[in-house]
């Protein structure tokens, strides 16, 4: 009998000035979701069921950037995406551009289980949701006051930090003149100051008591993104991956994760270089991200769990059958 293990995340890249109260709330949410995962694993549920259940829980809570509490597009709306992968046979499902589906990860699961395809998006995905009878709500359900405020700040910041790939002349003076709006231009993610936007994508990876692995990732995406923008979370091999060896869920700068096919690479170095889980995770985060900032959680079929990030913190939690259980934010 294999040993089960579970890891969850609520995003890599955390504002170092995050108020204490907020940190406590985040840790409570992570603990609660982790416990739900642990209980279902003890009840011998399959890995793919557990990851879906846990991510649903994270989506339903407005704290992180998925489902309710998702970041807003430039138009002020929510467009959500998610993917799920079952390590047995590497079946997968993904969705993008959801605007009314209460639990994107569950729709991704239905794409995997009940459609001839792997990935559905926008109007087609919404139509499929209705055909399948999943719970849908008005787009406003997902929008929080906090994110409306953040969108406004992001728009203001973007007029200053127009393109993060192009260093602005006098960037130092820029931060001085903007004052509290951009307190630390060096701590950015995805081109925005971390005080305004941190990824807060959510995810879960699990190996169950039969040794099967599964992964799921869900997000509202980048604050102030163009409508129609797709990130790494729904892309198999980038934000999510699972095979018979392991399961991975990533978070952080979407571009960096896609270019490095981060999730797939963890499994590939295990498969092709014979690295163990921790070695694989260390290697990939250290060597594959170039200038990008990201984090990931991973489990192996042997009941191991690993988390790694090169960003400033990552909301996460892990538990194994041995009784180990921990949530954390910082290094």
Partner 1 sequence: MGWAIALHGGAGDIPVDLPTDKRAPREATLRRCLDLGVAALKAGRSPLDVVELVARELENCPYFNAGRGSVLTTNGTVEMEASIMDGTSKGCGCVSGLTTVVNPISLARVVMEKTPHIYLAFDGAEAFAREQGLETRDQSYFITEQNIERLKQAKEANRVQIDYTQPQPIKEQAIPRSEGDSQIGTVGCVAVDRNGNLASATSTGGLVNKMVGRIGDTPVIGAGTYANTICAVSATGKGESIIRNTIARDVAALMEYKGLSLKDAANQVIANAPKGTVGLVAVTDKGDVAMPFNTTGMFRACAVEDGHSEIAIW
What residues numbered 76-105 form the site for partner 1, per CB under 8 A?
90-92, 94, 96-97
Stretch that binds partner 1, among 11-19, 171-179, 262-270, 322-330 (CB under 8 A): 262-270
> Is 254 annotated as a binding-site member?
yes
Query: How far apart (Å, rounded) are the C-alpha atoms in residues 2 and 13?
Result: 33
Residues 6+ apart with CB under 8 A from 44: 208, 209
User: Under 8 Å CB-to-CB from 272, ≥6 apart: which residues?
Assistant: none
Distance CA 72, CA 84 (A): 23
227 lies in the site for partner 1, by CB under 8 A = yes
Only segment of 149-157, 170-178, 221-229, 293-301 that touches partner 1 (CB under 8 A) = 221-229
Tell me whether strands 91-98 and 119-121 are parallel, antiparallel or unpaired. parallel
Cβ-based nearer residue to partner 1, 34 or 161: 161
322 annotated binding-site participant: no
Whether residue 201 lies in the annotated active site: yes
Q: Does 286 bind partner 1 (CB under 8 A)?
A: no
Residue 246 to residue 252: CA distance in whole angstroms: 20
Task: Report residue 92 as tokens.
Answer: 């997968």
Catalytic residue among 40, 201, 219, 240: 201
Let me know: does 37 contact 53? Beta carbons within 8 Å: yes
Closest CA to 38 of 327, 279, 266, 296: 327
Residue 143 Cβ, how far from partner 1 at the closest point, in Å?
18
Shortest approach of partner 1 to residue 263 CB, angstroms? Answer: 9
CA 76 from chain center: how many Å? 21
229 is in an annotated binding site: yes
Options 174, 244, 259, 276; binder of partner 1; rule CB under 8 A: 259
Residues 120-179 that bind partner 1 (CB under 8 A): 120-128, 163-165
Per the CB < 8 A criterion, the answer to whether 246 and 298 are in contact is: yes
Residues placed in the known binding site: 229-232, 251-254
Give the interface with partner 1 as residue ranges (CB under 8 A). 90-92, 94, 96-97, 115-128, 163-165, 190-191, 222, 225-231, 235-238, 241, 254-255, 258-261, 264-265, 268-269, 272-273, 290
Which residues carry out catalysis? 201
């Amino acid at each position: 009998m294999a040993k089960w293990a579970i890891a969850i995340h609520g995003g890599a890249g955390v504002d170092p000035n995050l108020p204490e109260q907020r940190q406590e709330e985040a840790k409570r949410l992570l603990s609660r979701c982790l416990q739900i995962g642990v209980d279902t694993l003890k009840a011998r549920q399959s890995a793919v069921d557990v990851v879906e259940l846990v991510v649903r829980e994270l989506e339903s809570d407005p704290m992180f950037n998925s489902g309710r509490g998702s970041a807003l597009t430039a138009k002020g709306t929510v467009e959500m995406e998610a993917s799920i992968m079952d390590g047995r046979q590497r079946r997968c499902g993904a969705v993008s551009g959801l605007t009314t589906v209460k639990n994107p990860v569950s729709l991704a699961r239905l794409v995997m289980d009940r459609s001839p395809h792997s990935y559905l998006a926008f109007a087609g995905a919404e139509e499929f949701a209705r055909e399948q009878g999943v719970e849908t709500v008005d787009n406003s359900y997902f929008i929080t006051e906090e994110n409306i405020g953040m969108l406004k700040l992001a728009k203001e910041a973007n007029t200053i930090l127009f393109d993060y790939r192009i260093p602005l002349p006098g960037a130092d003076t820029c931060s001085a003149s903007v004052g509290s709006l951009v307190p630390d231009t060096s701590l950015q993610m995805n081109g925005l100051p971390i005080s305004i936007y941190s990824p807060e994508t959510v995810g879960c990876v699990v190996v169950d008591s039969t040794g099967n692995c599964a992964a799921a990732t869900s997000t509202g995406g980048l604050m102030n993104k163009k409508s129609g923008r797709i990130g790494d979370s729904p892309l198999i091999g980038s934000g999510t991956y699972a095979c018979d060896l392991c399961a991975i869920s990533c978070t952080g700068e979407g571009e960096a994760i896609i270019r490095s096919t981060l999730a797939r690479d963890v499994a590939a170095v295990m498969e092709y270089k014979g690295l163990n889980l921790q070695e694989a995770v260390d290697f990939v985060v250290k060597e594959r991200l170039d200038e990008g900032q990201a984090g990931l959680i991973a489990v192996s079929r042997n009941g191991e769990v690993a988390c790694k990030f090169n960003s400033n913190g990552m909301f996460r939690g892990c538990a194994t059958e041995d009784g180990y259980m921990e949530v954390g934010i910082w290094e």
